[in-house]
Amino acid sequence: MAATTAATSMDHLQDLISHIHHASIGFLGNDPPSAVPSSPVLAKAHLQALKPILPPHLFHPMHSMWRRGRPVYWLDVAGAVGRLDWVDWLHRRGDTCSTLALDLASGSGSIACVHFLHKVGNGGATTLAMNLAARFGHLAILRFLHTRRSEGCTSDALYFAAKYGHEEVVQFLATYCLPQCMPSRALDAAARHGHYGIVQIIHAASSHLPSIATTDAMDMAAAAGHLYIVCFLHEHRHEGCTEAALMTAAARGHLTVVHFLCENRDEGCIAAALEVALEHQRWDISAYLSSLLDRRVTLCSRIGCHLLCEKQWSRGFAVDLKSSCI
C-alpha cells in the first residue's frame, strides 16, 4: 500500500515540478533530469505545492522542518518517495540532504534507498526512521536500522505497528527494543482493531513493565465484537472494562460478546443495555437481556443502576419486549 502511494506520488511530483519549472524533469528511465532547480533547497512555493500531493506522513515532517527554519532538500523528497534513481542522481550532482531523507525513505519501503542514504548520505537520521518503518510494516528496513544505526525508536513504533496489525514488526520490537518503545496504549490499539496475536505478544512481553493497557482495551474489543480478545483480556489482564463494554456490544449486535460479559463481568447495567438493544432493534440481544431481568439477574455495581433494574423488574420487561417485536 505504501509503495503504491509512493509511486503515485512520484508521478504527480514529476508533473508538479515540470509545471513549476516549465520543463520535464526527466527522471524516468536512465535520462538525467534536465530541469531540476539548481538550488538543492526547496522554495516555499515548492513545499506548498507538495501538500495536496504527498501523503500526510511525508508532508508533515517536511513542513515541520521548514517551520523550524531549517531547509528541506530535493534529496529529502527523492528519499521520501523511495526513488533510488532520483537519490543517486542528486547525490552525484552534489546535493545535500537533511535527516528527512533517510527518515522518510524508511517509511517508503525502499530498502535500496535506505542502504544508499545510510552509506553515502550526510544528513543522518532520527527516531522517525524506525518509527515509520514500523508503522508501515517494513521489517527488513527496521532490522537494518536497528543493527546499523544508533537512533533507535520511540513508543510510536510499537503503537502504530500494533494498530495496523504488523505482527512480525511487533514481535521484533518486543524482542529487541523494549522498554524504550513500549507505549501505554499499544495493547488498547491492538485490541480495538482485532489483532489477537499482537495482543498476546504485547501481553507476554510486558509482564515486567508498568501497565501498558487501560479499560479501553476490553471496551473497544467488545464494541467491535472481538470475542476472543475480550476473553483473553478477561483471563489474563487486570484492567477490566467499563459500563461502555456491555452498552456498545448490545447496541452493535454482538450477542456472543454480550453473553460473555453478562456471565463473567460485573460492570454495566442490564436494564440500560436492554434499552439500547431495543432502540437499535437488536431483538436477539433484547430477548437475552430481558430473560436476565426476568430472573432478577443484575450486573449493576452502582446503586443508581441497581435501582433502575429494580424498576424494570417491576414493569416486566418480557411484556414490553413482545410489544416491541410486533
Reported as a pLDDT band with limits 50, 70 and 90, residue 24 is: very low
What's residue 199's pLDDT? 96
Q: How far apart are CA 161 and CA 245, in angstroms?
A: 25
Q: Which of 153, 185, 219 is the last residue of a domain?
A: 153
- Specify the pTM: 0.80
Q: Which residues contact 207 (CB under 8 A, 6 or more apart)?
A: none
Question: CA-CA-CA-CA torsion for 264, 194, 277, 234, nearest 10 degrees?
Answer: 10
Q: What is the pLDDT of residues 152-207, one digit of tens each?
A: 999 999 999 999 999 999 999 999 887 666 777 889 999 999 999 999 999 998 87
For 231-251, what is the mean pLDDT?
A: 93
Give percent of the chain with pLDDT exceeding 70: 76
Query: Does residue 250 share a domain with residue 122?
Result: no
Whether pLDDT at 253 is above 50: yes
Whether pLDDT at 125 is above 50: yes
Smallest Cα–Cα separation from 143: which of 113, 173, 185, 180? 173
**Is 231 part of a structural domain of the chain?**
no
Q: Which residues contact 324 (CB under 8 A, 6 or more apart)?
A: 278, 283, 286
Query: Does residue 1 share a domain with residue 101?
Result: yes
Query: Does residue 266 share a domain with residue 120?
Result: no
Q: How far apart are CA 78 and CA 99, in angstroms?
A: 13
Q: What is the DSSP string of 189-246?
A: HHHHTT-HHHHHHHHHHTTTSS----THHHHHHHHHT-HHHHHHHHHH-S----HHHH
Give the DSSP letter of residue 73: B
Give me the CATH number covering residue 107: 1.25.40
Whether pLDDT at 289 is above 80: yes
What's residue 325's pLDDT? 32
Query: Does residue 248 share a domain with residue 129?
Result: no
Query: Does residue 143 share a domain with residue 5?
Result: yes
Smallest Cα–Cα separation from 146: which of 163, 133, 165? 133
Cα angle value 208/128/174 (rounded, 5°): 25
Reported as a pLDDT band with limits 50, 70 and 90, residue 97 is: very high
Query: Does residue 3 share a domain with residue 124?
Result: yes
For 315-322, what is the mean pLDDT?
A: 39
Q: Which of 153, 182, 204 is the last residue of a domain?
A: 153
Whether pLDDT at 8 is above 70: no
Q: Which of 128, 153, 178 is the last residue of a domain?
A: 153
Cα angle value 245/306/226 (rounded, 5°): 15
Query: Does residue 249 share a domain with residue 140?
Result: no
Whether pLDDT at 209 is above 90: no
* Helical packing angle, 227-236 and 255-264, nearest 10°: 20
Q: Which residue has the higher pLDDT, 174 or 4?
A: 174
How many C-beta atoms surround the C-beta of residue 104 within 10 A? 30
112 burial level (CB within 10 Å; 0-12, 13-18, 19+): middle
Round the average pLDDT of the chain to a whole number and report it: 81
What's residue 5's pLDDT? 44
Domain coverage including residue 56: 1-153
Smallest Cα–Cα separation from 321: which of 277, 264, 260? 277
Of the listed ranges 89-98, 254-263, 305-314, the least confidently predicted one is 305-314
What's residue 38's pLDDT? 73
Reported as a pLDDT band with limits 50, 70 and 90, residue 317 is: very low
3-state SS, residue 41: strand
What's residue 210's pLDDT? 64
What's residue 49's pLDDT? 80
Smallest Cα–Cα separation from 34: which of 50, 7, 14, 53? 14
With beta carbons less than 8 A apart as the criterion, state whether 201 and 181 touch: no
Residue 41 β-bridge partners:
73
Whether pLDDT at 14 is above 60: no
For 110-126, what is the mean pLDDT?
A: 92
What's residue 138's pLDDT? 98
**Is 116 part of a structural domain of the chain?**
yes
